[in-house]
Amino acid sequence: MIEQARGAGARIAREPGETFWGGYSGVFHDPEGHPWEVAHNPHWTIRDDGTVSLG
């Protein structure tokens, strides 16, 4: 996602990397200057109905 944002002209405020909580995140600013955080937690399961299982 960060690479797609970069390719679309976003400024990367924080390169993606590991977090203290065991996942990954990064931050970009869109062309209007709004910050967006992209995060992924590999320990969560997203079910078919969209609910999340923590564990």
User: What global pTM score does this model have?
Assistant: 0.75
Q: What is the pLDDT of residue 44?
A: 86
Please report which confidence band the pLDDT of residue 42 belongs to, taking 50, 70 and 90 as the band edges: confident
Q: What is the pLDDT of residue 55?
A: 67
Give the tens place of pLDDT for each residue, 28-38: 999 899 999 99
Average pLDDT over residues 18-41: 93
Please state, in angstroms and rounded to a whole number, the distance separating the CA atoms of residues 20 and 55: 16
Res 9 pLDDT > 70:
yes
Dihedral, 13, 18, 23, 29 alpha carbons, nearest 10: 10
